[in-house]
């Protein structure tokens, strides 16, 4: 049993009504893709302004299918961030294309859009921005680059459900937009994801690709025109998602309140004076026209000035009953991507932040006073480990 006094970096919340509804689905005998998936897709489409939506088994599948829907394949290049979950790059490799990593803005920790434009070559076919911690990029500038260079945009909005740009919800506009409903996301299906598309034709292609490429006609007709995968969401998972969606606005509001409490606590405990980098402030974000969903509250430690580096801080926080996470190391330095030619020093901002970034606890059921406890213990750990 988990220690009830331990504060994890995240914790999903499933209400009793949803748990009961999952039980009814299990008892129904129809537990794979069926009416609950269809209902979930209908509600998601409404959330995103009526755009076509298909649900998938996970947010990795949505990205791979998005690439295939966009016609990305061998010989193509896709520009993306080095600070993201490795799935973002792995799906590019899976379709035979090459991920091209660019450095990040050290303040937002998202793609440096000037670096994006500089990285475009005749082989570039798509841009894949990542909205780290639920913070979108400058969408006007992103799509201006895409239009001028005739590129598809596949938005890795895995963490950005209910975030907004200039008042418009991410997913309600743009090109292909992918969301994740994995267990640590703001709303969850336990595992799941969805892809928002532009046309019915794209949605039908995505639907075929998520289940082996099969096309059925009549009572017994079956054909496969292109191979697909086994990416379908189950009614069990969709039922969890249907139970989560009505709470989305309240979850976003609560996370926003907790983020504000964190900023106050970081000031009380002098985190900046210890060399700890903070996220962009709510005032700065709002001035840029961005409304994040505060999927994560992340700091950047001065790891090179701490005995034991980030791991040492994480251990002391764990001993104090506080869980943390690392989201993410600079993925271009993983062995596989080094094998594709990437090296230390190519993306200095991503590498520095990848060494020091630390995710602090943030979930809707947290108590506001937990933010003070976390910041107090973080400051204490950094002082204790200072070299």
pLDDT at 1: 54
Q: What is the pTM of this model?
A: 0.97
C-alpha–C-alpha distance, residues 8 and 122, integer Å: 46
pLDDT at 319: 98
CA distances from residue 190 to 4, 27, 48, 58, 217 in whole angstroms, order as listed: 21, 19, 21, 9, 33
Tell me the mean pLDDT in the region 123-137: 98
pLDDT at 5: 87
Residue 19 in tokens: 């748990």
Residue 369 in tokens: 């006073």
- pLDDT tens-place string over residues 338-384: 999 999 999 999 999 999 999 999 999 999 999 999 999 999 999 99
Mean pLDDT of the chain, nearest integer: 97
Mention every residue, 6+ apart, whose C-beta is less than 8 A from residue 144.
none
Whether 318 is a known active-site residue: answer no
- pLDDT tens-place string over residues 153-204: 999 999 999 999 999 999 999 999 999 999 999 999 999 999 999 999 999 9
2: confidence class by pLDDT, cuts 50, 70, 90: low
Residue 58 in tokens: 């996970």
Instruction: Using the structure block, give the residue that is written with the tokens 């990437």.
Output: 342
Structural domains of the chain, ranges and CATH numbers in brackets = 16-246 (3.40.640.10), 248-385 (3.90.1150.10)
The candidate with the shortest Cα–Cα distance to 256, out of 306, 209, 293, is 293
The number of beta carbons lying within 10 Å of the beta carbon of residue 214 is: 15
pLDDT at 3: 75
- Whether 311 has a pLDDT exceeding 60, the answer reads yes
Which residue is catalytic, options 36, 185, 230, 318? 185
Cis before 95 (ω within 30):
no
């Amino acid at each position: 049993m988990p220690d009830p006094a331990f504060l994890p970096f995240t914790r999903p919340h499933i209400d009793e009504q949803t748990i009961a509804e999952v039980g009814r689905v299990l008892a129904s005998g129809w537990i794979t893709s069926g009416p609950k998936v269809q209902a979930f897709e209908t509600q998601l489409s409404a959330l995103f302004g009526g755009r076509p939506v298909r649900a998938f088994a996970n947010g990795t599948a949505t990205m791979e299918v998005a690439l295939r829907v966009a016609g990305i394949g061998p010989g193509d290049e896709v520009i993306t961030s080095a600070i993201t979950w490795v799935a973002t790059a792995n799906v590019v490799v899976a379709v035979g294309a090459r991920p091209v990593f660019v450095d990040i803005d050290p303040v937002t920790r998202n793609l440096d859009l000037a670096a994006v434009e500089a990285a475009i070559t005749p082989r570039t076919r798509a841009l894949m921005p990542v909205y780290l911690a639920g913070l979108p990029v400058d969408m006007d500038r992103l799509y201006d680059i895409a239009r001028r260079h005739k590129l598809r945009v596949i938005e890795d909005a895995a963490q950005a459900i209910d975030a907004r740009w200039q008042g418009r919800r991410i997913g309600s506009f743009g090109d292909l937009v992918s969301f994740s409903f994995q267990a640590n996301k703001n709303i969850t299906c336990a595992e799941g994801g969805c892809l928002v598309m532009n046309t019915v034709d794209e949605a039908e292609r995505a639907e075929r690709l998520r289940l082996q490429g099969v096309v059925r006609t009549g009572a017994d007709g079956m054909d496969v025109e292109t191979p697909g995968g086994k990416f379908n969401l189950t009614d069990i998972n969709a039922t969890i998602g249907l139970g989560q969606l009505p709470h989305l606005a309240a979850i976003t509001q609560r996370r926003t309140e907790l983020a504000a409490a964190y900023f106050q606590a970081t000031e009380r405990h002098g985190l900046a004076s210890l060399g700890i980098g903070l996220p962009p402030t709510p005032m700065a974000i709002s001035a840029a026209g961005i409304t994040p969903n505060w999927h994560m509250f992340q700091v950047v430690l001065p790891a090179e000035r701490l005995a034991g580096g980030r791991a040492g801080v994480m251990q002391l926080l764990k001993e104090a009953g506080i869980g943390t996470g690392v989201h993410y190391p600079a993925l271009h330095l993983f062995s596989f991507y080094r094998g594709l030619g990437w090296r230390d020093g190519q993306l200095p901002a991503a590498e520095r932040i990848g060494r020091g970034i630390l995710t602090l606890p943030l979930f809707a059921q947290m108590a506001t006073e937990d933010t003070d406890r976390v910041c107090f213990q973080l400051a204490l750990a950094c002082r204790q480990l200072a070299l």
